[in-house]
Amino acid sequence: MSAIFHAGISGARGRMGRAVSTVLDEREDVVVAARFDRGETPDLSLCDVVIDFSTPEASVELARACAERGGPALVIGSTGLTPEQETDIHKASEKIAIVRSGNFSLGVNILIGLVEHAAQRLDPRDWDIEVLEAHHRKKADAPSGTALMLGEAAANGRGEDLADVRAAPWDGITGERTPGRIGFASLRAGGIIGEHTVLFASEDETLTLSHSAIDRSLFARGAVAAAAWVRSRKPGLYDMQDVLGFRQA
């Protein structure tokens, strides 16, 4: 059995916080040392690592607090961060180890690699790319963090920056599609956990790569695996590609 470590849960009363709590409680190598939400002041000294599924503002506040005291390590799953907030997280990672990901699913992270490889091989003059995603009615940001990760993978495969090739939403009289652009479409309804599809379409064929989340616990289990991995790492900003060993150190 692995050495026992102490974990905290930020955003503990939210959907993902509750799922993470359930997964942690099932493990014999983890002691849950703190459960808290925004506005509450936890004793961070009790934790080796904190798993955070809260809000962008709360994630930044937590990262600053952990960086100021030199720990604990962080796993951040909040999405919808602004560029300024992303910069704040990056600065905190100079003092502590942080795993930051828009999705902790193994399947999604494999999908990201497949999308990048497909985009490398399909000529942007002939193949359009659309990223489609669907989530529950309470999700606050769109496109989802995972959809943006998939869009970035497609752009990387083409040697482009997503910001330079991202298409505006299709609405009204838009005119013809500009070759090489990457589009996004979002759906919010009911209790959908997470559906992501990347569509590559030419004039005479389509290629569809997709992932469906069946149970929210898959994200929680990935986040807990990231926590077990990052708690002993040196300061830096990591993602699930690092945790899963897909990226060489």
Residue 91 is among the residues annotated as catalytic for this protein: no
CB atoms within 10 A of CB 118: 18
3-state secondary structure of 28: coil
- Scanning the structure block, which residue is given the tokens 């600053």? 64
Q: Spell out the SS3 assignment of 30-89.
A: EEEEEEECCCCCCCHHHCCEEEECCCHHHHHHHHHHHHHHCCCEEEECCCCCCHHHHHHH
Amino acid type, 247:
R
Question: Residues 6, 90, 91, 139: which is the catalytic one?
Answer: 139
Residue 139 is among the residues annotated as catalytic for this protein: yes
CB atoms within 10 A of CB 129: 27
Question: Residues 91, 135, 138, 234: which is the catalytic one?
Answer: 135
**Could you list the active site residues?**
135, 139
